[in-house]
Homo-oligomer: A and B are copies of this chain.
Amino acid sequence: MPDSALFPTEAFRKVLNQVVRDEGGALLQYAPVGGYAPLRRYLAGYLLRFGIEARAEEILIVNGAQQGFNLIARTLVDPGDVVAIEQPTYTGAMQGFRAAGARLLPVEWDGAGPRPDVFERLCERQAPKLFYCQSSAHNPSGLSIEPEIGRRLVAAAARYQVPIVEDGFDGSLHYGPRPGTPLKAADRAGIVIHIGTFSKILFPGLRVGWLVAPRPLVERLQAAKQLADLHTSALLQAAVHRFCERRLLERHVTRVTAEYARRRTLLLAALRRRMPEGVTWTEPHGGFSLLLTLPAGLDAAALLPAAVERGVAFTPGAAFFVDGAGQRTLRLAFSSVAAARIDEGVRRLAEAIKTVRRQPRPRRNEREMVPVV
């Protein structure tokens, strides 16, 4: 999660207060299901920066990315359907599609993105209802899909008419010179549904996000949104809009990206310095975390108690894998750890790894599949 110590709470308080003063009566009444019109128009311009061309009426405001998955799953997926999904992937998306009754088939990441050859084969043989992936600031790995891989995925999706659900929620939280390229930017066929949210770049507590899709699909998703909860609070939408319009979002993103980048750099340096041989990790291009892989024979879930004993926690990576793989992996989140504590945290984690490695382990029939990220 983003670090609440970096929240621009005071600036937001002021714009919130102003919008209630200026148009409170209207904002507190029932509001259009599609979203607050000025915010939809603002997003159309905002997305252009990332190469996404969308008209305001192709954008649907939702309660964060999670509602986005949910509406898409309920609209496009029937029980028993196959859904193709990147692996590793965000746990919430997996749960959302599973709750709709989907059977998930993984498309493994290599360092450049989910493998297009695997995706193509899957399209050909399994006719999935959709393909879900994160194009930038990938959770858990922090990687982004390289533009060439993205183009191949989009081309395959168009050829097989399998919609791609692209979770591009925090493309602006990037640690390289430029943000990654969203798949939606390469989409000429109208086959990509892009999901975005203010949760990571601003405040999770707003529960304001958006979907971008061709108009006929937006209308179906809008009907699902109406059934789900009528509409997202117009008051919060208007406050976000005012915040963005005043260029406060850019200022905030610039400031926090610098701080998250600093934490990332400190984490990578500490890992290089402290980790025993055989431990590897991803180098995040964006987002809040990286994925670390333990040496063969170790299990992240078994390591957790030894780490917690030393005051360090992580998420065992198996949670991000569809098919039971990933036991040797774990997610290290750096977004909410103060810079001064990172090196010490890594030192303790390394110590836990060394301790566990020395312990004789009961032989188990464990899957030793190594993730390719």
Residues of A in contact with B (beta carbons under 8 Å apart): 1-2, 4-5, 7, 9-10, 12-13, 16-17, 20-21, 24-31, 62-64, 66-67, 70, 92, 95-96, 99, 199, 203-207, 227-236
The answer on a CB contact under 8 Å between A1 and B13 is no
- Bound Cα distance from A63 to B228, whole angstroms: 9
Return chain B residues, CB-CB under 8 Å to A66.
227-230
> A92 → chain B, closest Cβ, in Å?
8
Return chain B residues, CB-CB under 8 Å to A7.
24-25, 28-29
Assuming the A-B contacts A12-B20, A20-B16, A25-B4, are A207 and B227 also in contact, with contact meaning beta carbons closer than 8 angstroms in the complex?
no
Assuming the A-B contacts A5-B25, A7-B28, are A207 and B228 also in contact, with contact meaning beta carbons closer than 8 angstroms in the complex?
no
CB closest chain-B residue, reference A25: B4
Interface of A is mostly: helix
- Copies of chain A in the complex: 2
Neighbour of A207 across the interface among B2, B5, B12, B230, CB < 8 A: B230
Chain B CB within 10 A, most for which of A9, A21, A205, A231: A205
The answer on a CB contact under 8 Å between B207 and A229 is yes
Neighbour of A25 across the interface among B9, B29, B62, B199, CB < 8 A: B9
CB closest chain-B residue, reference A96: B227
CB closest chain-B residue, reference A2: B29
CB closest chain-B residue, reference A69: B227
Return chain B residues, CB-CB under 8 Å to A30.
1, 199, 204-205
Chain B CB within 10 A, most for which of A10, A26, A67, A228: A228
The answer on a CB contact under 8 Å between A28 and B16 is no
Chain B CB within 10 A, most for which of A2, A26, A96, A229: A229
